[in-house]
Structures are given as structure tokens and as C-alpha cells.
Amino acid sequence: MARAHGFSILGIEVRGLSIGGIETCIDLPGFGVAFDVGRAPEHVIARPTVLFTHGHMDHMGGAAYHCALRGLRRLPPPTYVIGHENVAAFGELFAAWRKLDRSTLEHELVAIGPGEEHAIGPRLVARPFRSLHRAPCQGYALVERRTRLRADLAGLPQAEIRAARSRGEEVTDVVEDIRVAFCGD
């Protein structure tokens, strides 16, 4: 069996494996997310959020196993983020596994597409984009949002900034930084 390889890019830890038609799972431990779970490798069971790019078995085949193992380990139910076009089939997949497994396989299903986003944490959102593939597919950008003092207020005394805030002025700007993007196949 192939093993996931780990490395760091610009200070971001990445663990994963992608073998076309066999298995794809890209794990980002520092963000608490994984892109796809083709066969749900051991290290990814800890990830509470999985962003699925498309419904092929090598990308989604480990979803029920991921969910079951999280339940077995008494971890909170996972959140699965998928494209709108896969909601019905994903529900049918889990319904079949619930019958076979006689378990609840608790999870939260979030359907989003381009132009929408899903909050992963207080400062991090997943923003999908269309990706070319023979099946409906979307990639994801993980976007970090931070606030910083407005440029025109930089260097002013704290008293002036507090006064602007008390007048109801917005004293910060929201800055977005795309930390990671993954297109799927």
C-alpha cells in the first residue's frame, strides 16, 4: 500500500497522496482540513472537515470509513463540503452504509459552489471554484481573513483612532490572503 508523503511549503504542512484512479487525499493538519478522502488514510481521521472536489471513487470512496472511525474514536461528527450536484448521491451513499453498518454515521453535509463559501474557523473560509474534469468538479481556495488598521490612520496617536471608532467610523480594513488552493484532478 502506498504511504502518504509529508512536506512543508511556505511553512504549511502538507501530507497526502494522489494516484490517479486509485486514491487522492491531501491533508492540511494546520488548517484542520483535508481535500478528498479516497481511502481515508489513518492520519486524516483527525480532520474534522473534508472538502470534496468531485464524486469519483478515488476522491470520495473513504467518506463513510472516515465518518465511522471518527464516531468510533468519539470525535465530533465531521463536516463534508461538496458541490451542489453531488448532494443527492452522497445522501444515498450514506443511507446505504447506514443500512449495512447499522450505525448513524453522523456528519454535517454542506453543499456549496462557486460564489459561495464555508467558514472553517473564525478567520478561515473555503471558497470553491470550478475545475475542469470529466465529472462535475470544484477546487477550493482556503482564504484567511484578517483585519488591519486602515492605511490612512497608520501613525496617528491612539487617542485619534479611539475617537474615530467612537464616532462610529470603521478603523480597520479586511485583508484576504489565499493560503492554499487545490483544484482536484
Q: Which three cell numbers stand for residue 124?
A: 478561515
Per-residue pLDDT tens digits for 16-32: 888 888 899 999 999 99
Q: What integer pLDDT is reported at residue 185 of this predicted model?
A: 80
Per-residue pLDDT tens digits for 67-116: 999 999 999 999 999 999 999 999 999 999 999 999 999 999 999 999 99
Long-range contacts of 122-125 (CB under 8 A, 24+ apart): 124/31, 124/179
Q: What integer pLDDT is reported at residue 30 of this predicted model?
A: 94
Q: Which three cell numbers stand for residue 79?
A: 463536516
pTM (2 d.p.): 0.88
Contact 53, 181 (CB under 8 A): no
Residue of higher predicted confidence among 10 and 83: 83
Portion of the chain with pLDDT greater than 90, in percent: 68
Give the separation between CA 129 and CA 93, rounded to whole angstroms.
Answer: 24
